[in-house]
Amino acid sequence: MSCGISKAEFLEEEAPRLEKWLNNNSHGEMKYMENHFDKRLDPTKLVDGSKSVISLLLNYYPSEIQKDVTAPKLSKYAYGNDYHHVIKTKLKALTHFIQEEIGEVHGRAFVDSAPVLDKAWAAKSGLGWIGKHSNLLTKQVGSFYFIAELILDLDLQYDGVTTDHCGSCTACIDACPTQAIVEPYVVDGSKCISYFTIELKDQLPMDMKGQFDHWMFGCDVCQDVCPWNKFSKPHNEPLFNPHPELLEMTKKDWEEITEDVFKKVFQKSAVKRTKFSGLQRNIKFLKE
C-alpha cells in the first residue's frame, strides 16, 4: 500500500475540467455524477473542519488471469472480494491507529462510493500522475490499484505533486476498442466498455456490436497496453484472490452460466453490482 498526503482545499484545476466533462455529457446515464458538484471539488464541504486528505493505493494486480483466451473477459479488479469492503476494513483500522497515537481525530473514509475525485487527490499527494487514459500512473507499479482516502481534521505535512511521464506515447488511445479516449487525458465515459457493461442498465446499443473485444464486465485494455504496467507486480492480499473456479471457466461455461454458479463464483465480488441478468445480457451481446 502507498500513502500520500495533501491539503484539504478546493481543487481549482479540476473544477473547469469536471464542468466541461459533464456539459459534454461524457457521463452518459451516470446521472449521479451531476450531484454534489461542490463537494466533489472541496473536501471541507464533505467533512466539516477537514484539513488533510490522506490518499492510499492498494495493488490488485493478479498473479494469474483467465485461462481460456476465447472466453468473455472480466476486469482484473473484480477477480476477488469486493474492494469496497476490503479497503473500508483497512481504513477503519488505520483511523483507529491514528486516534490511538494522536488522540481525538475526526474524519471519514472513502472508497469510490462518495463524491470524491480519487485520482485528483492521489495525484495532488504525489502518488502518481494522471495518464492519457485518465487513470493514475506510477513509475514503480503502473496503474493496477485501488484508490481510497481518509479526510481528517488533522494538520499534517503535505507531499508535492510528481511529474507526468506519458511523453509522446499514445498506446492507450490507439488501443481503446471503442475510441473512448477522445483526446489525451479525456475519456468519454459514455463510450467506455466499463460503462456499457457495468453502469448502463438499459439494452446495449447495437452500434457497439462487435466492439467490446470480449469484455463482459469492465475493461482493462488501456491499462494492459500501457508500458508502465510492465512493472506491475502481483498483489499479496488474499481477499483479492479469485474464486478457484473463476479462472478455469471456458467460453462455453460462461455462455451457459446459471444463477447458482454466478452466486457461488461471485458471492463476495463487485460483479454482483451488475446482477446475474446484467452479466447474462453482456455475455449474450458478445455472442450474437
Distance between CA atoms of 146 and 55, rounded to whole angstroms? 10
Query: The whole model's pTM is what?
Result: 0.91
pLDDT of 22 reads 64
Q: Which of 42, 112, 153, 253 is catalytic?
A: 112
Is residue 118 part of the annotated active site? The answer reads no
pLDDT of 11 reads 83
Average pLDDT along the chain, 288 residues, taken 10 residues at a time: 90 74 65 68 88 95 95 96 93 92 91 82 94 94 94 93 95 96 91 93 91 96 96 95 93 96 92 93 90
pLDDT of 211 reads 95
Cβ count near 57 (within 10 Å): 22
Q: How many residues does the chain have?
A: 288
Three-state DSSP state, 237: coil
pLDDT of 12 reads 77
pLDDT of 179 reads 95
pLDDT of 116 reads 80
pLDDT of 202 reads 87
CA 248 to chain centre: 25
- Alpha helices, DSSP H, located in the chain: 14-23, 37-41, 83-102, 118-124, 171-175, 193-194, 221-224, 251-255, 259-265, 275-287
Selection from 51, 65, 60, 153 nearest residue 111 by Cα: 60
pLDDT of 13 reads 76
Distances (CA, A) of 239 to 77, 78, 100, 235, 250: 12, 11, 26, 10, 23
29: its cell numbers: 446515464
